[in-house]
């Protein structure tokens, strides 16, 4: 994450420089930008090819180091799984809350408009608004299940 934050000003500078170059020089600059993009694409494809073609490493290590490395890997995997479950719980709560907010906004406005004309439909209108609120409760239940599995 820190690498992305430190690289962001460089990316912004390159984007601004490319925009300025395209406005200043026109079509020849566009050819240069397209050539640079093609080279970057070829380098990325090469790195993916090398990464997929590489086999597992076969370094000979003592048994005690192998056991310690296996335990550390298991701990790191459990931590990564716990982190993924917590991120999933956060996404479930955020998504369902946003969906519920949008649903309540529309149904609440329509319920108030309908009740201003016919006050006797208050009960039915509130049931519909309550159903919209249920979306947020479903997200909360899913996040509790995910946190329980973590």
85 neighbors 146 (Cβ within 8 angstroms): yes
pLDDT at 9: 86
Rounded distance, CA 94 to CA 113, Å? 29
Please give the average per-residue pLDDT across 122-141, as a whole number: 91
Per-residue pLDDT tens over the stretch 41-96: 898 889 888 888 776 665 555 555 555 555 555 555 556 667 888 888 999 999 99
Per-residue pLDDT tens over the stretch 36-52: 888 888 988 898 888 88
pLDDT tier, 103 (very low <50, low <70, confident <90, very high otherwise): very high
Query: In the chain, pLDDT over 70 holds for what percent of residues?
Result: 81
Domains of the chain: 1-53 (no CATH), 82-150 (1.20.20.10)
93: Cα separation from own chain's centroid: 14
Radius of gyration of the chain (CA): 28
Per-residue pLDDT tens over the stretch 23-36: 888 888 888 888 88
Structure tokens belonging to residue 60: 């000979």
pLDDT at 99: 93
Within 26-121, residue ranges assigned H as helices are: 27-53, 63-117
Taking phi first (over 0 means left), then psi (-120 to 50 degrees means alpha), and beta for anything else, what does residue 59 get?
A: beta
């Amino acid at each position: 994450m820190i690498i992305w934050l430190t690289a962001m000003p460089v990316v912004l500078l390159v984007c601004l420089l490319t925009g300025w170059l395209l406005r200043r020089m026109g079509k020849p600059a566009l050819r240069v930008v397209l050539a640079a993009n093609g080279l970057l694409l070829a380098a990325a494809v090469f790195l993916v090819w090398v990464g997929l073609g590489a086999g597992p490493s076969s370094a000979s290590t003592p048994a005690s180091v192998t056991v310690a490395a296996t335990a550390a890997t298991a701990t790191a995997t459990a931590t990564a799984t716990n982190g993924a479950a917590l991120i999933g719980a956060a996404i479930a709560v955020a998504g369902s809350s946003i969906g519920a907010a949008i649903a309540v906004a529309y149904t609440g406005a329509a319920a108030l408009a309908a009740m201003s004309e016919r006050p006797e439909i208050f009960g039915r209108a509130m049931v519909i608004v309550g159903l919209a609120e249920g979306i947020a409760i479903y997200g909360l239940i899913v996040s509790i299940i995910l946190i329980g599995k973590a």
